[in-house]
Structure 1
C-alpha cells in the first residue's frame, strides 16, 4: 500500500475533501475493478463518463475518488480530490504509484501514421541481438525482455504501461521502445513518462474521425516532442514536411533523417528485389530483407536511433542485415505455381499506396497485381473512397471486402470504397463481402508469376463484427488457398 499524498505528487489539485495522508491499495479508472481501499479516477471516456460510477466505486470500498466534478453527496471516510483533467492526473498518479519506472531505463517513443510497429519492433530485435535487456510496447505485443504479453491497443492505458515498465525495472531492462499513437497522446497516456527520445516517421491521412482535422492530428503528434526534456533526443523524417513542425518547440537535441533531403542521417537505395534491397547508409552498404522505400525510411530511423543511443555503427549494420520482416508487414509467400502473396497492415491511403508502389516497382510488367482490401467500421469514413481509388487505379484487379466491420454494415463500407473508383476502373473491381471468399477468389484468379496483395489487417488474427471476434489470419488464409490449388 502507498500513501495517497505520495501518489498525488505533481498532480494539480483544485480542491480536496478528506485526508490525503492515508494508505491506499490500487488505482483504477474502471469502477468494476475497484476493491477495498482503492483509488478510483473518474475518467471521461468517448463512450462513458467515469463520474457516473463514483457511487458504485465508493460502495465497492474506494478510499479515495479523483474527479473533475465533486459529487453532491460526500461520504465520510472517503477522500475526494478535484482536478481539472482526470486523464492527466491518472497518468501522473500511475507513474508515482510504480515509482516512476520510466526514469530507470531509456524509453524511446515512436510516433507517425505509418511505420511505428516496424520501427519499434526492429529496434527491440536489434538491441536484443546486441546483447541488451530490452522492452517493447507495440500494436502487436508487449515484450518484457523475453516475456511476451499480448496487447489490444497501440498505446495501452497508463496503469498498464507503468506496470510493464516496472516489471522491466525489476529485471534490469536498459532500453524500451514504445509506439505512441495520436489517441494515446490526446488521452494523456504518454504523460508522466520520461522519454529519452522520440522518433517521427511520417504523417498522412488517418484517424480524422477522431481528430476531425489534419492540423489537429498533426499537432497532437507534436505534443510528444514538445514535452521532451533537454536530455532527450528528437529524431524526425524531414522528407515529410511535418518533420520540421515536430521540432519547432522541442527542448530535445534535434536529429534528422531522409532519403531525398539533406539530413544528419541519409540513405540511398542502390538495388531492389523481391527478397530484399541494397542500401547505402553513411557510405556503407547494407543488404536488408525488408523491401520498399517505406522500409528504407524505417531502416534509416533504426540506424540513426542506434547511433544516437551509442551502438557502434559497423556492429549496428551487421545486426541490421539479420533483421526479418515484422509479422503482417510486407510478409510474403511464394506458392509452387510461383504466385506471390503479400500480406500487409496497410490500412491508410498512404500505406496502401506505398505498398503498391513497391510492388509495381519490382514487377516486370507481365504479371498481374490483384489487391484484396477493405476498410474498418466505426473509423474514419473519409479515407474509404481514397482507398478504393488507390486499389483500383494501381492494381490489375481489386477486390473490395470486409476488414473489421465492427458495428457498421459491411455493404455500406464497401459502397463507400466503390465511390472512389473512377469510371475507367470499374471493370477491374469486384466486391465480395466475405473476406475468406475474397481471398480465395483472388487466388483462383491469379496465374503463374502474379502478385496478390491482401491489405488492411496484417498481423491481426481475428475479424470483429458487432462486438464478436472470430479467428481470422490473412497470411494463413492466403497460404492455404494457394496451397490447395496445387
Structure 2
C-alpha cells in the first residue's frame, strides 16, 4: 500500500497478499480486492462476493456495514488511484525500468505511438506499445479493448516488457484513462500532446474539463522528463503551463523547436522538409505531417541520431485504419480512416480535396457512434455534406441507441443546398456497396469512423465487420 492515501484501517495490516483484483469474479484465495466506483456499477456491491471467493484484504472508498473477522479493510480516498499505485507496486514499479512515453490528444495518438514503435524497432531496439489497436511486448501481440487499459493491465504488460528487455514503450493516454487514474504511479520519460478538438463531451461535459484532464499528464511529469507539444494547436501551450519537465514544441505553421514543411503532396505520399532536411514519406496530409514531426522530435529527445531518424521515418508505413487506401482495377480509390470526430473528418476530407484534380467525385460513407457525444453528430453531418460530392450516412456502432435516430441527428447539420447530396442507408454493408456502385473511374470513396475496428456493436452484440475488407470485396464485385 506504499504511496496510497489511507484514511482508515480495520484489521491486521501484516497480511501477505497473493494477487490484486478489481473484478470480484477473478478473486482467488489470499487475494486483495479493490472496490471501484465505475460508471456502470459500483465495486462496493461485490465486497462480500470477493471475500467469499477468498479475499483477505479489501480496499474501498467506504467501509461496508458488515465487517468480517480475519479480513483486513483499508479505506482510501480514491479507489482508482489506490488500484493504480498498488498495481505498480505489485509488479515492482516496472515503468521505472524502461523509457515510457505517453501520447495524448484528440486525434493522432494511435498513429504517433504506433509509428514510434515501428521506428524504434527498425532502429534495433526492443520496444513496447500500448494502443487502441493492440498491445505489443516487443514482437508478441495482445488484444486490447480500451485506448488506455485499466491500471492492472498496464502494469502487467509493462512488467512483461521489462522481463524480455524492452527499452522503450509508447503508450496512448486517453482523457478517460487520466480521469480514472489509470496512469497514476507510472514514471514517464516524456509526454506528447497532438491536438485538441470536439470529443468526449458526453463524459467530460465541458471542453475546458476535457482540456484540463489532458493537461494532468503534463502536470505530473518529473524534471527529468520531456514535454512535447503541438505549438500550432491553440491549447498546445496550455499543456506546458505547470509542468516541471523540459518543454519542447513542434509545428508546421509556427516557429517551434521542431518544424516541418510540406513541399509536395500526392496520393502515394508527401515530400517534407524537417530541420532543413528533405524526406519522402508514404503518409500523406497535413495531419500526418504533424504526426511525423512529433515522431522526429520525440526520437531526437530520446537520443537517436537525427539523420538516422529521418531515414527511418521515410520507411514507415500507414497504420491500419488510418488513411489506409487502395486503388481498384477500375482506378477507384478507396480510403478507410478512423476519423470519428469533426476535426478528424475535416482533416481527412481537406487532404483528399487537396489531392483532387477536380474531375473526380468524393463519395463519403460516415456515421456516428451510439452512447457517445451527441453534439458532434450534426457537425459531422455538415462537414461530410459540405466537403463531399456525395454522402451516405449510415450506422457506426449504434450500441444501445437507434441507428435511425443517430442518422437523423447527423442530417440536422446538412445545409439546404447540400441536401441533394445525401443518402441515408442504415445498414453499413449496404451503404459501402452503394458507394462503390455510385463510383466511376478516378472517383474517391472515403469510409470514415471505424478505421481499424473489425466489429459492429449493436445492443450489446458485436458482429464481425471490417470496413477495409468490405470495400475491397464490394469493388472487386
For 2:114 and 2:7, locate their aligned partners in 1 and report how far apart those are by CA, in whole Å.
Answer: 41
* 1:275-321 per-position Cα deviation (integer Å, ceiling 9, x unaligned): 00000000000100000000000000000000000000111111110
In the alignment, which residue of structure 2 is the partner of 1:5? Answer: none
Cα distance, 1:325 vs. partner? 0.2
Q: CA-to-partner distance for each residue in 1:160-216, whole Å, 9 max, x for gaps?
A: 000000000001100000000000000000101000000000000000000000000
Q: Distance in 1 between matches of 2:472 and 2:10?
A: 62
Matching residue of 1:365: 358
Alignment partner of 1:66 out of 51, 59, 71:
59
1:422 corresponds to which of 415, 418, 421: 415
Task: State the TM-score, normalizing by the size of structure 2.
Answer: 1.00
Inter-partner Cα distance in structure 2 for 1:246 and 1:263: 15
Show the counterpart of 2:89.
96
Give the aligned partner of residue 327 of structure 2: 334
After superposition, residues 337-352 of structure 1 pair within 5 angstroms as 337-352=330-345
TM-score (norm: length of structure 1): 0.98
Q: 1:313 aligns with which of 306, 311, 316?
A: 306
Provide the residue aligned with 1:4 in structure 2: none
Following TM superposition, the consecutive aligned residue runs of length 4 or more in structure 1 with deviations greater than 6 angstroms are none
Number of residue pairs the alignment of both structures matches? 477
Question: Equivalent of 1:152, from 139, 145, 157?
Answer: 145
Residue 109 of structure 2 aligns with which residue? 116
Asked if residue 126 in structure 1 is aligned to residue 126 in structure 2, the reply is no
Counterparts in 2 of 1:142-291, with a 5 A limit?
142-291=135-284
| Structure 1 portions without partners, runs of 5+ | 1-7
Deviation at 1:22, TM superposition (A): 1.1
Q: Is residue 2:297 matched to residue 1:300?
A: no
Question: Cα distance, 1:116 vs. partner?
Answer: 0.2
Give the alignment's Cα RMSD to 1 decimal.
0.4
Give the drift of 1:20: 1.4
Partners of 1:19 and 1:195 lie apart in 2 by 34
SS in 2 for 1:256: strand
Structure 2, unmatched stretches of 5+, are none
Deviation of 1:21 (Å) = 1.1
Q: 2:318 aligns with which of 322, 325, 339?
A: 325
How far apart in 1 are the matches of 2:378 and 2:402? 16
Confirm whether residue 85 of structure 1 aligns to residue 92 of structure 2: no
Per the alignment, in what secondary structure is the counterpart of residue 236 of structure 2? Answer: helix
2:26 is aligned with 1:33: yes
Give the alignment partner of residue 384 of structure 2, picking from 386, 391, 397.
Answer: 391
Whole-Å separation in 2 of the counterparts to 1:160 and 1:412: 36
Specify which of 371, 374, 378 is matched with residue 378 of structure 1. 371
Structure 1 residue 56: Cα displacement? 1.1
Q: 2 CA distance for matches of 1:473 and 1:78?
A: 48
